[in-house]
Amino acid sequence: MKYNALKGVHDILPPDIHIWQKVEDAAKDIFSVYGFQELRAPIIESTDIFVRSIGETTDIVEKEMYTFSDKADRRITLRPEGTAPVVRSYVENHMYNLPSPQKFFYSGPMFRYERPQAGRFRQFYQIGAEAFGVSDPKIDAEILSMLKLFFERIGLKDLNFQINSIGCDKCRPGYKKALIDFFSDRLEGLCPDCKRRYEINPLRILDCKVDACVKLKEGAPHVTDSLCGECQIHFDAFQDFLKSLDVPFVINPNMVRGLDYYTRTTFEVTCEHLGSQNAVAAGGRYDKLVQEFGGPPTPAIGFAAGMERLTTLLKSSSVDVVPSPKAFIAILGTEAERESLIISNRLREKGVWAEIGYSGNSLKSQLRRADRLSTEYVLIIGEDEIKSGKVKWKRLSDGSQGEVTLSGIYDFVSPPHRVL
Ligand code: ATP
Ligand code: MG
């Protein structure tokens, strides 16, 4: 019997995993200095949570969710994104009673039944952050500068920050009407989904990736021309703060994002080296969602970054992050078996990565393994070494050699920190 992973999912194996861990560590370091704490929500939630928040006429809800009934006939969905679960948790745990802003980050797998292709999977990983309780556009700018710092820290280059404002309940109806007018004589050419969305949710047409719809939306009215006074002030201040923080950006008035819960600010970070799936992170404001989930009116903003796309970029820029052992204890003869085990274990207790040779492997094959692992020091222990209490070491990187006592190995391989 031979088993394969399901279509559209993938294993993350060494050496790639080291790139993943580097990205995750950088995110945690940087998000925490901006005051974001980790929140771990479940991977399964009630289907309703996603339908209500993401929106019934979005691609995610219409086509992409992994939904099933459990044994008690509850409708359950594997989370397709991270914002709705965090909002559910924020409201359920009454975190609106805590001082604002409350800031959280999350990381983990998301699930969407999409057509698998480069940069698009059915189980994929996101790192995201959400901030609750502040409507001040300063926080919109802080979030983008946090993303910029994160991407710089992991060494990503040639990124574009695109921003937009999609208005609020006050100005959106006017814009919807302008869109309906615009598409009224183009209706025939739209894809069946967009035809259906035309009346209920014309904004979705702008997000459609079908070629015909992409062509037909050329020349469509810009949402930024319909903003109400307050949304315009917010959008202007946001841009002003971005300039103060040296976050380079362009306004993309066609970027409405594929989820219905956004209000005002939306943004996307794209990378020139990624081909057609070029968005590495995306997000926006969702000032109504907490209230829709039963909480008090609470402005909020967040984003999610796609781990596969980030790590692909880092792989291609060949950042060397594969760790290697500090010491390899090779063995000659049976007496060295126990000694190598004891020495390596003491090194490990000190936090030093040590490897040992195993019986049945020739010295040559042990040394080959040490070399493959890019070990720093190789020490060979045999009968003579145990008798004399001295062992030869070799540093593989420069070929230097020397001798050290058996009891001095620990300090030699991992010198104690000198107190000045
Ligand atoms: P796209 O336009 O690429 O479909 P999206 O708008 O559906 O993206 P979001 O829901 O905003 O994506 O998710 C944020 C980020 O998560 C994306 O920018 C992308 O990097 C990543 N992402 C989304 N869907 C997938 C997927 N199926 N496989 C891998 N990464 C994904
Ligand atoms: Mg998508």
pLDDT in tens, 348-396: 999 999 999 999 999 999 999 999 999 999 999 999 999 999 999 999 9
Judged against a pLDDT cut of 80, whether residue 56 lies above it is answered with: yes
pLDDT in tens, 81-94: 999 999 999 999 99
- Please tell me the predicted confidence (pLDDT) of residue 420: 59
Query: 274 pLDDT band (50/70/90 cuts)?
Result: confident
Identify which of 143, 203, 309 to mutate to test ligand 1's pocket (most ligand atoms within 8 A of the CB).
Answer: 309
- Please tell me the predicted confidence (pLDDT) of residue 316: 78
What's the CA-to-centroid distance between 284 and ligand 2, angstroms?
A: 15
- Please tell me the predicted confidence (pLDDT) of residue 207: 87
- Please tell me the predicted confidence (pLDDT) of residue 318: 62
By C-alpha distance, which of 235, 261, 277, 225 is closest to 82? 261
C-alpha span between 319 and 52 (Å, rounded) = 42
What's the CA-to-centroid distance between 258 and ligand 2, angstroms?
A: 7
Average confidence score pLDDT of the chain: 95
Judged against a pLDDT cut of 70, whether residue 109 lies above it is answered with: yes
pLDDT in tens, 217-257: 999 999 999 999 999 999 999 999 999 999 999 999 989 88
pLDDT in tens, 283-340: 999 999 999 999 999 999 999 999 999 999 998 776 667 899 999 999 999 999 999 9
CA dihedral (57, 63, 66, 72) positive or negative: positive
- Please tell me the predicted confidence (pLDDT) of residue 419: 62
Question: Could you give the C-alpha distances from 208 to 203, 204, 211, 297, 381, in angstroms and in order?
Answer: 9, 6, 8, 31, 66
What's the CA-to-centroid distance between 13 and ligand 1, angstroms?
A: 22
**Which residues surround ligand 1 with Cβ inside 6 Å?**
81, 112, 114, 119-121, 124, 126, 258, 277, 279-282, 304, 306, 308-309
Share of the chain above pLDDT 90, in %: 90
Question: Which ligand lies nearest the alpha carbon of 54?
Answer: 1
Question: Could you give the C-alpha distances from 347 to 48, 342, 371, 372, 414, in angstroms and in order?
Answer: 53, 9, 19, 20, 8
Cα atoms in the Cβ-side hemisphere of radius 13 Å centred on 386: 15
Judged against a pLDDT cut of 70, whether residue 141 lies above it is answered with: yes
What's the CA-to-centroid distance between 119 and ligand 1, angstroms?
A: 9
Share of the chain above pLDDT 70, in %: 99
Q: Work out the average pLDDT over 19-23.
A: 95
Task: List, as own/partner pairs, every contact residues 376-380 make where C-beta atoms lie below 8 angstroms and the sequence separation is at least 24, other chains included.
Answer: 376/324, 376/325, 376/326, 376/327, 376/413, 377/326, 377/327, 377/328, 377/413, 378/327, 378/328, 378/330, 379/327, 379/328, 379/329, 379/330, 379/343, 379/404, 379/409, 380/330, 380/331, 380/332
Cα atoms in the Cβ-side hemisphere of radius 13 Å centred on 104: 21
Nearest CA to ligand 1 atom 26: 120
Q: Work out the average pLDDT over 72-76.
A: 98
